Chain A
Amino acid sequence: MRKYLEVTLGVLTAIGGFVDIGDLVANAEVGARFRWNLAWVVVVGVVGIVLFAEMSGRVATLTERGTFDLVRERLGPRFALGNLLASFFVTFLTLVAEVAGIALALELATSVNHLLLLPTCGVLVWIVIWKVKFDSMERVFGLLGLALVVFAVAAWRLGPDWSAVLHQATHPGVPDGEGTPTYWYYAIALFGAAMTPYEVFFFSSGAVEEGWDRTDLMVNRANVLVGFPLGGALSLAIMTCAAVVFAPRGITVDHLSQVALPVAATLGRLGLVVVLIGFFAATFGAALETGLSSGYTVAQYFGWPWGKRYRPVDAARFHAVILVAILLAVAVGLTTVDPIKVTEYSIVFSAVALPLTYFPILVVANDPQYMGDRVNSRLTNALASVYLVVIVVAATAAIPLMIATKAGM
């Protein structure tokens, strides 16, 4: 019974924790401009992240070490350093976007300018990382994030013609008025939002933080196989809401306030309150994860003591990196850069960094020296190899498309 409860809690946490500001912005923007013609990308992205999260969780559980630790050992310090720099850059950019996202969510609730709220948000994120236990932190924000289910409720209430939706989703095409390069640019952006690299560092380090052992492998699998797809369904709900409310009116999404609008329009005041709670939970949770991931990546590469399970004095450099990362993130946010633009860049650069982050996991997950008898099955490897090709194609096409379409304008 206890195990069953644990599994359920894990799954719920995974659903609620799946969506971050990148998903909120990307799915709403795409739904408004392309309706359901890019829904297939979400499905592809969810399958991809399920595949690699399961792998990295399995690797961390069996080796009791984090990803970057193993990457350096297995692939050498030079490759791992290049990997570290790229991953850290992308994770940091995402951190900037998430912290700014918290401020935006609070601005919608209080109408206080988000720039004024930004330093406080940074401090709050840091305090939680400093003081709160790892699993309490995960549980609270994961469960609060379930508030985003309100998008599914709103989508159902908006009642589009579901057979037409299914038809468009399964027969995707470039809609009139949009160019093919723009279509593929947004496909890559959506893909990068679904397959966030930091998720992998965080998941694998989290497994070590929570002291997972072999018996927890089943819990890991359940979280990933059930939680993430349901989280992906939430992404599709966000897309649906935007497609039904915005697309017919020719509205393009550029603000978080617009992402919430379909819910406010259908479910009123209560719906709006719930969705804003969801925004707060999603961005705050993701800020915690990216903040911690910036520490995990650097500390694991250099072999420093790392982890929230230690007292801060026992993992000083790890906590110093996190502190500096959060300070810098707030500083970048205070340059009045548009958080939505930062989000858009962070997801596209995530797509560019994907090969660097996923390839090493695939290598380690196949190494019997680390995995024993739990190396990848042939099916997993086949699927992962296909994904590696997709990831490399997306990564190489991302920047050229960004330039060609002027970042999707």
Chain B
Amino acid sequence: MNVRCAARRLVAATLLGPLVILVSCSGPARTDASFSSKAASTADQARSSVETVVVLVESADRHHLPEPYLSTAIAEAEDDAGAALTGFESVQPPSSRSDLVRSRTSEVVGDAVDLLAQARISARRGHAPVELLPELRRASVRLDSLAANVER
């Protein structure tokens, strides 16, 4: 065993590592508990996006932030939430008991994604969507309680 051998193994391990991660990231949920856990983390991710947009819009209202930044940032938040939802909806519910969890999560997260889309459209038109703030905050609260209840 020499240094070169070890170095080669290290390189191989580091190249394989990411492959393993990619494989393990979006695996199926085998139990109702792990499915609920996925639902909760999806709700958390969506909530993070909604809160980001809340901060963005509040700041835009106070400071008149430039349109390119505002619209890009809101679009990124919307993409994240949308991706989380799509990822969640592609998972097969393990049993019929999880069906309710699935529909509830889809509904709440879906509403949030729609709201973020509205915000993005408004921002792209050069208008900071300040009027959406109350709805955004409500969406955040709904997502928070969804995450808490679903992992009961």
Contact B7 A82 (CB under 8 A): yes
Closest chain-B Cβ to A244's Cβ sits at a distance in Å of 11
Q: Which residue of B lies closest to A76 (CB)?
A: B3
**A272 touches B (CB below 8 Å):** yes
Across the interface, which residues of A come within 8 angstroms of B62, CB to CB? 265, 268
Contact B13 A399 (CB under 8 A): yes
Closest chain-A Cβ to B75's Cβ sits at a distance in Å of 9
Binds B, one of A64-72, A189-197, A247-255, A291-299: A247-255
Q: Which residue of B lies closest to A245 (CB)?
A: B55
Number of residues on chain B facing chain A (CB within 8 A): 42
Across the interface, which residues of A come within 8 angstroms of B71, CB to CB? 111
Q: Which residue of A lies closest to B25 (CB)?
A: A406
- Distance in angstroms between the alpha carbons of A78 and B77 in the assembled complex: 48
B22-43 CB contacts (< 8 Å) to partner A: 24-25
Contact B7 A402 (CB under 8 A): no
**A407 touches B (CB below 8 Å):** yes
Binds A, one of B45-53, B91-99, B103-111, B127-135: B45-53
Closest chain-B Cβ to A407's Cβ sits at a distance in Å of 5
Contact B4 A78 (CB under 8 A): yes
Q: Given contacts A81-B4, A403-B20, is CB(A251)–CB(B72) below 8 Å?
A: no
A261-278 vs B, Cβ < 8 Å mask (1 yes, 0 no): 100110011001100100
**A110 touches B (CB below 8 Å):** yes
Contact A79 B4 (CB under 8 A): yes
Number of residues on chain A facing chain B (CB within 8 A): 41
A216-246 CB contacts (< 8 Å) to partner B: 245
- Distance in angstroms between the alpha carbons of A273 and B64 in the assembled complex: 12
Contact B3 A78 (CB under 8 A): yes
Question: Within the complex, which residue of B6, B21, B48, B63 is in contact with A402, where a contact is CB–CB below 8 Å?
Answer: B21
Question: Within the complex, which residue of A85, A252, A403 is in contact with B11, where a contact is CB–CB below 8 Å?
Answer: A85
Closest chain-A Cβ to B152's Cβ sits at a distance in Å of 16
Contact A108 B14 (CB under 8 A): no
Contact A268 B65 (CB under 8 A): yes
Across the interface, which residues of B come within 8 angstroms of A264, CB to CB? 56, 59, 63, 65, 69
Across the interface, which residues of A come within 8 angstroms of B14, CB to CB? 349, 352, 399
Contact A272 B44 (CB under 8 A): no
Q: Which residue of B lies closest to A407 (CB)?
A: B21
Closest chain-B Cβ to A203's Cβ sits at a distance in Å of 24
Across the interface, which residues of B come within 8 angstroms of A254, CB to CB? 76, 80
- Distance in angstroms between the alpha carbons of A265 and B55 in the assembled complex: 7
- Distance in angstroms between the alpha carbons of A258 and B7 in the assembled complex: 37
Q: Given contacts A111-B71, A250-B51, is CB(A79)–CB(B3) below 8 Å?
A: yes
**A89 touches B (CB below 8 Å):** yes
B121-149 CB contacts (< 8 Å) to partner A: 144
Q: Which residue of B lies closest to A267 (CB)?
A: B63
Question: Within the complex, which residue of B20, B24, B73 is in contact with A257, where a contact is CB–CB below 8 Å?
Answer: B73
- Distance in angstroms between the alpha carbons of A78 and B20 in the assembled complex: 29
Q: Which residue of A lies closest to B44 (CB)?
A: A250
Across the interface, which residues of B come within 8 angstroms of A403, CB to CB? 17, 20-21, 24
- Distance in angstroms between the alpha carbons of A109 and B51 in the assembled complex: 22
- Distance in angstroms between the alpha carbons of A382 and B55 in the assembled complex: 48
Across the interface, which residues of A come within 8 angstroms of B44, CB to CB? 250
- Distance in angstroms between the alpha carbons of A22 and B82 in the assembled complex: 26
Q: Which residue of B lies closest to A265 (CB)?
A: B59
Closest chain-B Cβ to A268's Cβ sits at a distance in Å of 3
- Distance in angstroms between the alpha carbons of A22 and B117 in the assembled complex: 30
Q: Which residue of B lies closest to A248 (CB)?
A: B51
Question: Within the complex, which residue of A110, A251, A255, A406 is in contact with B76, where a contact is CB–CB below 8 Å?
Answer: A255
Contact A82 B8 (CB under 8 A): yes
Q: Given contacts A249-B51, A251-B51, A268-B65, is CB(A261)–CB(B73) below 8 Å?
A: yes
**B90 touches A (CB below 8 Å):** no
Contact B51 A345 (CB under 8 A): no
- Distance in angstroms between the alpha carbons of A405 and B42 in the assembled complex: 17
Contact A85 B48 (CB under 8 A): no
22 A-B pairs within 8 Å (CB atoms) are namely A82-B3, A82-B6, A86-B10, A108-B72, A109-B68, A109-B69, A111-B72, A249-B54, A249-B55, A250-B44, A251-B48, A254-B76, A261-B56, A261-B59, A268-B62, A269-B65, A272-B65, A356-B7, A399-B17, A403-B21, A406-B21, A407-B21
